[in-house]
Amino acid sequence: MDKLLIEINGKVETVTDVKDDNFLVIKEKEYYIFQDSEAAGEAAREYWTELAESDPEELAFIVGEKALIAWGLGREYAVGSIGVSSLEDWLNLWEDVPEEHFASYDGLEVAARINKKLQRELFFDSGEVVVYRAD
**Domain definitions of the chain by residue range:** 5-38+101-133, 51-98
The end-to-end CA distance of the chain, in Å, is 29
pTM: predicted TM-score of the whole model, two decimal places? 0.90
Q: What per-residue string of b and e applies to 39-74 under the rule 16 or more CB within 10 Å gives b?
A: bbbebbbeebeeebeeeeeebeeebeeebbebbeee
pLDDT at 1: 59
How many percent of the chain have pLDDT more than 70?
99
Q: What is the mean pLDDT of residues 13-30?
A: 94
Q: Kindly report, residue by residue over 62-94, the tens digit of the pLDDT.
A: 999 999 999 999 999 998 778 999 999 999 999
Q: What is the mean pLDDT of residues 35-41?
A: 98
For residue 2, pLDDT over 90 is answered with: no
Residue 17's nearest CA partner among 1, 60, 128, 6 is: 6
Q: Kindly report, residue by residue over 101-124, the tens digit of the pLDDT.
A: 999 999 999 999 999 999 999 999
Distance CA(123)–CA(130), nearest Å, equals: 15
